[in-house]
Homo-oligomer: A and B are copies of this chain.
Amino acid sequence: MALGRDSQKHRVVIVGAGFGGLWAVKHLKGACVDITLIDQRNHHLFQPLLYQVATASLAPSEIAWPIRSMLHDRKDVTTILATVTGVDAASCTVRLGDGSTVSYDTLLLATGARDSYFGHDDWEPLAPGLKTIEDATAIRSKVLRAFEEAERETDAARREALLTFAIVGAGPTGVELAGTIADLARDTLPRDFRAIDTRKTKVLLIEAGPKVLSGYPDDLSQYAKGALEKLGVEVSLGAAVTGIERDAITFGGHRVEAGTILWAAGVRASPAAEWLGVPADRSGRLIVEPDLSVPGHSNIFAVGDTVSVTTPEGSPVPGIAPAAKQEGAFVAETIRRRISGKSGHRSFHYRHEGSLAQIGKRKAVIDFGWIKLRGAIAWWLWGIAHIYFLVGVRSRLSVALNWLWIYLRNQRVARLITQPAGESGVE
């Protein structure tokens, strides 16, 4: 394909319009470069709230925005909807799924991560993960359908299994899924069903490690565990999952029948390291230089969930949105400096702005480092912060409206069971 842009300018190609890629674009505003932004989706996704789509609290379009619309006033940016299949560093080109290529002077790989089943890829269809809008609407349908099937089930054991939800992994996503499913069952659904008492729903949160929210200080983890248990969530720590079948999960030596099993236990980086044939860590994350460039390729950078970065103190930079944004902005600044001929080596320094996780409808934990918050005040701050970080006034108003409805009326607005095209209803 012919890009046909001003070929005099330095060409920056950015792969991935997540937080890392998009923040690099933002911070290249006004720089004398031509930017091509490639993503396999047409939308930027606000992943921190994806679990709210999976639990019928928000609509997909409230947390996802068309990339080219977000960048409509950036005439220096060309947005391409395409899947990248490889990088040819020798010819400085990126290869797309349709066989065409895009040339770069500087390349930024911000290609993210997907769920990892630690060698048990057969578990994937049985215990879906949460990475895309489609994942979220599929999980939403699965969760809501479990209650529908339980309502019609006459066998008591089978009904109990249908009302058992097992969530593997007690990181933020697992904690937030567990808390919100518990809320859904306790507050939103009870009055809608006739044959079942949805308050008897079992939510199991299964974690191989010694605590929930492993990246948080111990007292907040303890608090989060207690708050989940008050919501009725059964938290199992130090319990490795050893088997997943259709409608049953084995962990810590127990086998439990569960109609819905969700996976939030770990990620595997995109194949960016494979594309370049450079070293990666056990999770496939590209090991970058202190300036976030790829070893041996000074004009290729990588940021976000697809890289492994360590702080000068030796601790890993967490795989969260603020880290990806900071990395994207840092690379943008490096590109600006190089274009203007400035020399000197720069190293990326991660500033931890805080960790936030919601636990059900009225509680949250926040670790700002200098202060730790929990409970209702943390929940309000969590809500305000997330509304602030959404894109555009319309999304903010709309999400605020939906949260108000959940808060005041326990109504969740997006309780839709939908099927992929071609499947005809339920049987």
Q: How many copies does the complex hold?
A: 2
* A421 contact from B75, B82, B134, B427, Cβ within 8 A: B134
Report yes or no: B417 in contact with A42, Cβ–Cβ below 8 A.
Answer: yes
The complex places the Cα of A343 from the Cα of B60 at a distance, in Å, of 52
Interface string of A169-194 (1 = CB under 8 A from B): 00000000000000000000001111
Complex-state Cα separation, A301 to B147, whole angstroms: 30
Instruction: Check if A148 sits within 8 Å of B42, measured CB to CB.
Output: yes
- Point out the residues of chain B lying under 8 angstroms from A413, CB to CB: 61, 394-395, 398
Interface residues on A, range: 35 or more
Q: Is A419 an interface residue (CB 8 A)?
A: yes
Specify which chain B residues have a CB less than 8 angstroms from the CB of A83 in the assembled complex.
424-427
Residues of B within 8 A of A191 (CB): 72-73
Pairwise interchain contact B394-A72, C-beta atoms closer than 8 A: no
Contact with A69, one of B148, B154, B411, B422 (Cβ below 8 angstroms): B411
Which A residues are within 8 Å of any B CB, using their own CB?
1-2, 4, 40-43, 59-62, 64-66, 68-69, 71-73, 75, 78-83, 97-98, 133-134, 137-138, 144-145, 148, 151-152, 154, 191-195, 392, 394-395, 397-398, 401-402, 405, 411, 413-422, 424-427
Q: A61-B415, A81-B145, A397-B401 are in contact. List 16 more A-B contacts (CB 8 A).
A: A1-B152, A1-B154, A41-B417, A59-B414, A60-B414, A68-B192, A75-B194, A79-B194, A82-B426, A83-B427, A133-B416, A134-B418, A394-B411, A395-B413, A401-B401, A420-B421
